[in-house]
Amino acid sequence: MAIEIQWIRDNASLAHYCASWRSLPFVAVDTEFMRVDTFYPIAGLLQVSEGERAYLIDPLLISDWAPFAELLVDPAVVKVLHACSEDLEVFLRLTGSLPTPLFDTQLAAGYLNLGFSMGYSRLVQAVLAIELPKGETRSDWLQRPLSETQVSYAAEDVLHLAEVYAALQQQLAPEKNAWVLEDGAELVANLGREIAPEDAYREAKLAWKLSRAQLAVLRELCAWRERQARVRNQPRNRIIREHSLWPLARTQPDNLVALARIEDMHPKTVRQDGEFLLQLIKSAAATAPADWPQALPEPLPVDASTLLKKLRAVGQREAERLNIAPELMLRKKTLEALLKSGYPNGPYQLPDTLRGWRRELMGQALLDCLAAEGESA
């Protein structure tokens, strides 16, 4: 099947088409980008479809993204994407805006119990009985001209995305459709809740094992790493490798030889930033006790796993009742946060991460499960 392709290579054309798309109920949107050696994704191509043709936007030739940003935030136009977390970063980087309302077809497949975390090709095969060609996902999207195969691949992807959306819409009950949009809004909100560099240490591996004095060092190391990754536009592990952070904060080397011996420490990091890191560690180690971070909570003990399974079963029962992929129901991190709020004897509090329909449908059942467990203990 020949696909009608419309190229958009200048600001005026983009503004024209964005205005026409804003009169539609939805647009399917996809991106092709490169992210090999950079912190931020580099857009190579943006694709839009209303289900009839494919519009290919060349981001290397566009300088005014305001009309596209307005389309992204237009509440009257549903933006359809698939497994969109990295696409969202592309939009934020290019336009400063994020899509709302957002319909993620991967999430919708889970709500229809077609499968959890389905790849795009599998979903197209399941819904449209079309086999997509493979082979271009890892190609160079910044090269010009793009090859015929690349152009065909990109156009097919976005056109079929619009068709998949139309097919899924016919199957989704209004309630589930609302839940897909609610989860889409949550994806957007999570990206908007970017962790401050000063709080990055909380996510570091084994941070809970460190004393408060050592955490003060880890906090500065992680904050510096985060800022440098953004400034240099390099992956975090190019600045300091993840596995080096904890031993750096724990042993606090005071010379280049000791620094070079740190687990997983890259020689380039020692050469490029070694002296600065030693000074940073020395300065952070001198932090007054009043300014040390609070100790981080330990992971749940092994014997909490039985209770975790019982909580997960609450979600699984609800998933069966609603015919939803069980993995969509209750995230492990949310259940762990619930347990940490009062383990082992309670009282427990529902965590902030349990929101929306999940909180309404399962919040009380989770608390009841924990209360019953406490009574039987």
Catalytic residue positions, numbered: 30, 32, 87, 153, 157
Pairing between strand 42-49 and 26-34?
antiparallel
Pairing between strand 5-8 and 42-49?
unpaired
Long-range Cβ pairs for the range 279-282 (8 Å, 24+):
280/220, 280/221, 280/224, 281/217, 281/220, 281/221, 281/248, 281/252, 281/253, 281/254, 282/254
Contact partners, residue 193, CB within 8 Å, separation at least 6: none
Contact partners, residue 8, CB within 8 Å, separation at least 6: 14, 17, 55, 56, 57, 58, 62
Contact partners, residue 348, CB within 8 Å, separation at least 6: 338, 339, 341, 342, 367, 370
* Cβ atoms 328, 107 nearer than 8 A: yes
Contact partners, residue 90, CB within 8 Å, separation at least 6: 31, 33, 41, 43, 46
* Cβ atoms 54, 153 nearer than 8 A: no
Measure the CA–CA gap between 114 and 107, rounded to whole angstroms: 10
Alpha carbon separation from 97 to 57, 68, 92, 180 (Å, rounded): 17, 9, 5, 20
Sheet of 102-104, strands arranged across: 5-8, 54-57, 42-49, 26-34, 78-81, 102-104
* Cβ atoms 52, 3 nearer than 8 A: no
Longest dimension (CA), the chain: 69
| Count, residues in the chain | 377
* Cβ atoms 159, 53 nearer than 8 A: yes
Both tokens assigned to 177? 């459709």
